Amino acid sequence: MPSADPAEPLPVPPLFDRLVDDTSLLAPRGSAPGVDAVVTRYLAARDGRHGGLLGQLVCPVSRLPVLVKELARSSPTRPVDVSLVVDTGLGAVPKALSTVFSRSSLLTPRTIETAAPVDVDAIWLERVAEFVPDDVVAVVEPRRPVGAEEAGTAEWLDAVRRVAKHGCTPKLRCGGSRASDVPTVAEVDRFVRLVAEAKRGFVALGALPVLSAAADDGAVQLGVLNLLVAAARALAEASPEGSVLRQQLRVAELHELSHADNALNRRQSAPMGRGKFLEEIGVHREQVAIELVIFGRENPASKSAHRQAFEDFGNEGIANALLVEPDYQELFQVTNLREARRLLQEYEMEQRYVFKNLE
């Protein structure tokens, strides 16, 4: 939760605008903070210097009366954007919305979130739509099946596709007490790409504050930054300017040839084989993808002269450097011209000259 600051609010890039919702009220009642503490902290953060990062206050329908009472006592300067989570059945939604609309000086309903069976269909989604006003977003979470079988994952992704096609916002659960609550990296990647192709947003619950971490059982729980990277890459590839963005990512990949080699020369890491090189490329591609979404281009403040030179040289110049530099030969296990040509072809790089030292 951002801390409050009486100074002028800071501008927020579009990717981070209202990025993080306050889900404190979703915690089990035995361990959750009091509603009064949640409201006080939320209002202070929303009106503080970093308030542009803060999204909605998420509230279970069953706790709405207590929230309304506390907000009335706190007298907020403007209504609180609220997300209602259905925890007592869809039948309770009309009364909850009536309560919110009757206290418009305190609350503005933005979303209604509900879980859905994995076989969710148009009839079920239409029933949800009956309860949700046009200016409120329906957020639907198709439950992932337990286990990593491809058939189950495909069924879940089909349900996500139906939710998005119906005009609802899909929800991705990234953590929880059940094994199926923690998706694999591959499942997250497929989910995000599907949502981007459908031109919809998504809601994520249970992500770690920053980066991923491995649990005792080896499962990897993703963080907010991981989701940002996935979203940035999907948007870059799915946008109308995708061909241009992909070309810029290609430049980053070419730059990585030198980046990996420099790390080896400086002895900052152990000698890197092809696997390490591919990891390095992935990191750099993710960095550039985020820059493209935030700035609409690569961040000029972080572009080095070396990177700019690569753009000026083009593919051919970098391919030539690969062929002539002994360190590249060692790094990529290239010992002759045939192997060098195969490596260049794999990365779609052109060869212009034949160098004697590789004959």
How would DSSP label each residue in 17-75? TT-EEE-GGGS-TTTSPPHHHHHHHHHHHHTSTTGGGEEEEEEEGGGHHHHHHHHHHH-
| Domain presence at residue 23 | yes
CB 25 within 8 A of CB 58: yes
Q: What angle do CA 63, 223, 145 make, to 5 degrees?
A: 70
161-178: average pLDDT: 90
pLDDT of residue 272: 41
- Is the pTM higher than 0.85? The answer reads no
Confidence of residue 123 (pLDDT cuts 50, 70, 90): very high
Find residue 208's DSSP bridge partners.
Answer: 223
DSSP 214-271: E-TTSPEEPBHHHHHHHHHHHHHHHSTTHHHHHHHHHHHHHHHHHHHHHHHHTTSSS-
- In a shared domain, residues 333 and 190: no
- In a shared domain, residues 231 and 280: no
Domain residue limits at 338: 242-358
219-230: average pLDDT: 76
Higher-confidence residue: 278 or 338? Answer: 338
CB 4 within 8 A of CB 44: yes
Find residue 84's DSSP bridge partners.
Answer: 59, 112
| Domain presence at residue 7 | no
293-313: average pLDDT: 51
- In a shared domain, residues 62 and 176: yes
Edge to edge, what strands does the sheet with 80-85 contain?
20-22, 54-60, 80-85, 107-116, 137-142, 169-173, 203-205
Highest mean pLDDT among 74-78, 117-121, 144-148, 183-187: 74-78
- In a shared domain, residues 269 and 293: yes
Confidence of residue 126 (pLDDT cuts 50, 70, 90): very high
Domain finish residue from 179, 212, 238: 238
What token pair was written down for 152?
A: 């189950």
- In a shared domain, residues 174 and 202: yes
Helix (H) or strand (E) holding 288: helix 274-295
- In a shared domain, residues 209 and 263: no
Q: Does 190 have pLDDT greater than 70?
A: yes
Confidence of residue 307 (pLDDT cuts 50, 70, 90): very low
Confidence of residue 310 (pLDDT cuts 50, 70, 90): very low
CB 86 within 8 A of CB 112: yes
213-234: average pLDDT: 71
3-12: average pLDDT: 67
- In a shared domain, residues 268 and 320: yes
| Domain presence at residue 120 | yes
pLDDT of residue 290: 60
| Domain presence at residue 153 | yes
- In percent, the amount of the chain with pLDDT more than 90 equals 35
According to DSSP, residue 5 is labeled -
CATH number of the domain residue 51 falls in = 3.20.20
The number of residues in the chain equals 359
| Domain presence at residue 8 | no
Domain finish residue from 217, 238, 259: 238
User: From CA 19, how far away is CA 126, in angstroms rounded?
Assistant: 28
Higher-confidence residue: 57 or 316? Answer: 57
- In a shared domain, residues 219 and 262: no
- In a shared domain, residues 28 and 146: yes
Number of domains in the chain: 2
Higher-confidence residue: 159 or 180? Answer: 159
Q: Does 216 have pLDDT greater than 70?
A: no
342-355: average pLDDT: 50
| Domain presence at residue 2 | no
Choice among 131-140, 264-273, 316-325 with the minimum mean pLDDT: 264-273
Domain finish residue from 238, 255, 273: 238
| Domain presence at residue 1 | no
User: From CA 265, how far away is CA 62, in angstroms rounded?
Assistant: 61
| Domain presence at residue 345 | yes
User: From CA 204, how far away is CA 103, in angstroms rounded?
Assistant: 28
- In a shared domain, residues 228 and 266: no
- In a shared domain, residues 267 and 150: no
- In a shared domain, residues 37 and 109: yes
